[in-house]
Chains A and B, each alone.
Chain A
Amino acid sequence: MTVNSTAYKTRPASAPRRRPASPARRPGWTPWLYLLPALVLLGGLLVYPIYQLGLISFLEYTQAQVSGGEPATFQGFGNYSALFGDSQFWQVLSATVVFAAACVLATLLVGCALAVLLTRIRAVPRLALMLGALGAWATPAITGSTVWVFLFDADFGPVNRILGLGDHSWTYGRYSAFALVLLEVLWCSFPFVMVTVYAGIRAIPTEVLEAAALDGASQWRIWRSVTAPMLRPILTVVTIQSVIWDFKVFTQIYVMTNGGGIAGQNLVLNVYAYQKAFASSQYSLGSAIGVVMLLILLAVTLVYLRLVRRQGEEL
């Protein structure tokens, strides 16, 4: 990690001490040997399921095939063409992308803002904020969603009573339902961003910030030109994590909009895949959706890493 600051320049000097004494010219098999346990685990828990996922997406594989009523037949790209030919898929995909983007932006904004806030308040309010955030973080998504949907319930919810909205239904309109889910997603995922970014800010040497302040930089300027660049690796990780999480959101939509909302208006890709794969036992179509999701997330991650690198940062 190299950043344009003197504080970090000292780091490479200390690095060689940790390396083995002999210069590693030809590593041979030794590193692989060390990596073997991890690779075996990854292979078993990641590569094999993905392989099965990919394989099933090329077959006709429904409940009849699983329980042996009919043989599994090879379909080529049949499942994919069925999927891409389905207008609902494109609708769901675009809804997912927009919804995930909104969630990521909101989470990052709120998370970072509260992280900065944490560094500026006294111990007691900081502790309160931390505890509140950790409580939200520790709440299982299904519990959070159930409570959230109760708060906004048309007949019994306290929110309507406090706002005097009568029996207004928050989940009937498409956007208001998505907004409600977004709030819940935001509530349960900002703590991760906040805590991580807060830790990152704490790790920034105070001299750097002091120097900037002495040079007359405003708070916003310090954040933009000093803090944010130094936090870039952390922000990268947090962003990728958020993108992956929010793209894969399931529980909140499933619970809060009752499996996808009125006429499926609030379906996102993961719930859609579940409806296809498990509710209607079309495992192969569900797998195809899974593969498409995997490829999209892989592409997003790679492109993002590429962008970050091109800006001269090494992670």
Chain B
Amino acid sequence: MKLSARIAAPAAALVLAGLTATACAPQTSDTGAKGDEKTGTLRVWLFQEVGNKPKEKVVDTAVAAFRKAHDGAKVEIEYIPVETRAQRVKAAFNDPKSAPDLIEYGNTDTAGYVKDGGLADITSEFGAWADAKDTDPAARQSVTVDGKVYGAPLFVGVRALYYRTDVFADLGIQPPKSQAELISTAKKIHKRKPDLYGLAVGGAYTYGAMPFIWANGGELADRDGSSYKAAINSAKARKGIEAYTSLFGAGNCPPAKCAAMGGNATVTAFASGKAAMAIGGDFSHTAVEDGSVKGKYAVVPLPGVTEGSIAPAFAGGNNIGVLRSSSHRTLAVDLMKKLTGKASQARMFDAMGFLPTYSDVRADAAKREPFVEPFVKTLGAGAKFVPASPAWGQIDSSLILPTMFQEIVSGRKDVAKASDDAAKKMDAAFADAG
């Protein structure tokens, strides 16, 4: 003990001395490309889905087509776990030597990855690509930052209202036609069947809450010159927040349970028969089919404020982008086109149920598989996207919106105060991102 105390003083002095020296800076990597080779191995990272085999088959077909066109090129596909993708991608940006040439990424990450200097600008190639003409606007927006294109959309994901047909028939009620009716129906069901949540909602389910804000005419943030300004505390947005948070409480979904739930938890609650309604995505289909409610549910678009309207949904989904550090740019762009082209997306829909990003391919898909019809309708009514700002990644990961909802539903703050605080935090993030 005496010894360590003696060492502590000089060690502390050393640290201080080190801090004042500014000669040595922390590591910064150079992600610029070193060339454009026409042969060699292309490395691709795709997300590992639950039940990945069908996806692999579609990818292999696309890769075979690519190999036919390029003799000297090899392709190495790696499926990475979705949970650790953030760390993997960051590591790839930090160490270009071990980075892949192409990555699949969630479309809310686009702006952040661009700011990180990770993705290559492929505006000209995308513009000259015949397939891209039919890409729908929301999907195009999800690969665009400041007018430049950084990848190609692979699929879109959108949420709609799942409801239990047996419960509705039992109570003699119809699927709700407006937001007010949705809320009253949820409460009615919970009153008659207290074991069920009327509509399963989650305090951490940001993407389920957004349609309520958008349907009331609110926005998350408004474009303000080159940056954004938070609009979550505007009168219209507050109306939406009010509507969403009114679903928490003894009358529908008790906060002690629902405040902490995220999207998956609400879908699980529905799939296991604990909820009469839930806001789930087209991608939740398998999970619900595997649950105890198989055959006892249907899907309709989430209703908007006026009767018969559809609430704007969040256009989620994944893109495929070329890394800026890739030394095979031409080849990589070509493989990207093969993976995200119309033929490949149609096959991907048949294999995995992922909605195509091309309006014509999607319309065909809906004919083959009636289940996706409400989702295609929702997309057709105009889906929306999060602010295309690098700050979004930070807003999302620092849980600003879940915190806001949780503060309200746990009674810690009222809507006005909580939304003002959230707006302040969002503005700070936008300011940081510049």
Chain A residues, CB < 8 A from B22: 55, 74
Complex interface: stretch among A46-54, A113-121, A195-203: A46-54
The smallest beta-carbon distance between B203 and chain A, in angstroms, is 7
Distance in angstroms between the alpha carbons of A169 and B254 in the assembled complex: 10
Cβ of B28 under 8 Å from chain A: yes
Is the pair A59, B118 in contact by a Cβ cutoff of 8 Å? no
Is the pair A63, B90 in contact by a Cβ cutoff of 8 Å? yes
- Assess A63 versus B31: contact at CB under 8 Å? Given A314-B2, A315-B1: no
Chain B residues, CB < 8 A from A302: 5, 8
Distance in angstroms between the alpha carbons of A298 and B94 in the assembled complex: 32
Is the pair B18, A67 in contact by a Cβ cutoff of 8 Å? no
Q: Which A residues are closer than 8 A to B by beta carbons?
A: 42, 46-47, 50-52, 54-56, 58-59, 61-72, 74, 154, 167-169, 171-172, 233, 236-237, 258-260, 262-264, 275-276, 279-282, 298, 302, 305, 314-315
Distance in angstroms between the alpha carbons of A127 and B414 in the assembled complex: 55
28 A-B pairs with C-beta separation under 8 A: A42-B7, A42-B11, A46-B11, A51-B19, A54-B15, A55-B24, A58-B19, A59-B25, A59-B26, A62-B432, A63-B90, A63-B112, A65-B28, A66-B94, A66-B116, A67-B29, A68-B32, A68-B117, A69-B31, A69-B116, A236-B1, A259-B399, A262-B259, A263-B259, A275-B399, A276-B398, A282-B432, A298-B12
Is the pair B260, A171 in contact by a Cβ cutoff of 8 Å? yes
Is the pair A66, B27 in contact by a Cβ cutoff of 8 Å? yes
List the 5 closest A-B pairs by CB distance, nearest first. Answer: A69-B117, A67-B93, A263-B406, A315-B1, A51-B18
Q: Which of B28, B112, B397 contacts A72 (CB 8 A)?
A: B28
Distance in angstroms between the alpha carbons of A259 and B399 in the assembled complex: 10
Is the pair B390, A280 in contact by a Cβ cutoff of 8 Å? no
The smallest beta-carbon distance between B425 and chain A, in angstroms, is 9
Chain A residues, CB < 8 A from B1: 233, 236-237, 305, 315
Distance in angstroms between the alpha carbons of A65 and B257 in the assembled complex: 40
Cβ of B273 under 8 Å from chain A: no
Distance in angstroms between the alpha carbons of A280 and B394 in the assembled complex: 5
The smallest beta-carbon distance between A261 and chain B, in angstroms, is 8
Is the pair B28, A169 in contact by a Cβ cutoff of 8 Å? no
The smallest beta-carbon distance between B92 and chain A, in angstroms, is 9
Is the pair B26, A61 in contact by a Cβ cutoff of 8 Å? yes
- Assess A281 versus B394: contact at CB under 8 Å? Given A47-B15, A69-B115: yes
Chain B residues, CB < 8 A from A172: 255-257, 259-260, 410
Is the pair A169, B403 in contact by a Cβ cutoff of 8 Å? no
Cβ of B407 under 8 Å from chain A: yes
Cβ of B14 under 8 Å from chain A: yes
Chain A residues, CB < 8 A from B255: 172
The residues in B between 6 and 48 inclusive whose CB is less than 8 angstroms from any CB of A are 7-8, 11-12, 14-15, 18-19, 22, 24-32
The smallest beta-carbon distance between B117 and chain A, in angstroms, is 3
Closest residue on chain B to residue A48 by CB atoms: B18
Chain A residues, CB < 8 A from B14: 47
The smallest beta-carbon distance between A32 and chain B, in angstroms, is 12
Q: Supply 13 further A-B pairs (C-beta < 8 A) apart from A54-B19, A68-B32.
A: A55-B18, A62-B432, A66-B93, A68-B28, A69-B117, A169-B256, A236-B1, A260-B399, A262-B410, A264-B403, A276-B398, A280-B398, A282-B432
- Assess A263 versus B26: contact at CB under 8 Å? Given A64-B117, A172-B259, A315-B1: no
Q: Which of A171, A281, A314 contacts B90 (CB 8 A)?
A: A281
Q: Which of B28, B30, B115, B410 contacts A263 (CB 8 A)?
A: B410
Closest residue on chain A to residue B117 by CB atoms: A69
Q: Provide the B259-289 mask, 1 if CB < 8 A to any CB of A, else 0.
A: 1100000000000000000000000000000
Chain B residues, CB < 8 A from A50: 15
Is the pair B403, A263 in contact by a Cβ cutoff of 8 Å? yes
Chain B residues, CB < 8 A from A74: 22
Chain B residues, CB < 8 A from A66: 27-29, 90, 93-94, 116
Closest residue on chain B to residue A172 by CB atoms: B256
Is the pair A264, B94 in contact by a Cβ cutoff of 8 Å? no
Cβ of B417 under 8 Å from chain A: no
The residues in B between 128 and 185 inclusive whose CB is less than 8 angstroms from any CB of A are none
Is the pair B18, A154 in contact by a Cβ cutoff of 8 Å? no
Is the pair B257, A154 in contact by a Cβ cutoff of 8 Å? yes
The smallest beta-carbon distance between A181 and chain B, in angstroms, is 15
- Assess A263 versus B394: contact at CB under 8 Å? Given A56-B26, A63-B90, A74-B22: no
Chain B residues, CB < 8 A from A168: 256
Chain B residues, CB < 8 A from A258: 260
Cβ of B412 under 8 Å from chain A: yes
The smallest beta-carbon distance between A258 and chain B, in angstroms, is 6
Chain A residues, CB < 8 A from B19: 51, 54-55, 58
Closest residue on chain B to residue A155 by CB atoms: B257
Chain B residues, CB < 8 A from A62: 432
Distance in angstroms between the alpha carbons of A58 and B203 in the assembled complex: 36
The smallest beta-carbon distance between A184 and chain B, in angstroms, is 18
Is the pair B407, A64 in contact by a Cβ cutoff of 8 Å? no
Q: Which of B26, B118, B256, B397 contacts A154 (CB 8 A)?
A: B256
Distance in angstroms between the alpha carbons of A158 and B412 in the assembled complex: 30
Is the pair A51, B15 in contact by a Cβ cutoff of 8 Å? yes
Chain A residues, CB < 8 A from B249: none
Cβ of B291 under 8 Å from chain A: no
The smallest beta-carbon distance between A306 and chain B, in angstroms, is 10
Chain A residues, CB < 8 A from B394: 280-282
Distance in angstroms between the alpha carbons of A279 and B5 in the assembled complex: 36
The smallest beta-carbon distance between B60 and chain A, in angstroms, is 31
Is the pair A64, B390 in contact by a Cβ cutoff of 8 Å? yes
Distance in angstroms between the alpha carbons of A67 and B393 in the assembled complex: 16
Distance in angstroms between the alpha carbons of A237 and B11 in the assembled complex: 20
The smallest beta-carbon distance between A12 and chain B, in angstroms, is 15
The smallest beta-carbon distance between B396 and chain A, in angstroms, is 9
Closest residue on chain B to residue A82 by CB atoms: B428
Closest residue on chain B to residue A63 by CB atoms: B116
The residues in B between 412 and 434 inclusive whose CB is less than 8 angstroms from any CB of A are 412, 432
The smallest beta-carbon distance between A276 and chain B, in angstroms, is 8
Distance in angstroms between the alpha carbons of A58 and B403 in the assembled complex: 29
Chain A residues, CB < 8 A from B399: 259-260, 264, 275
Distance in angstroms between the alpha carbons of A52 and B18 in the assembled complex: 9
Chain B residues, CB < 8 A from A56: 26
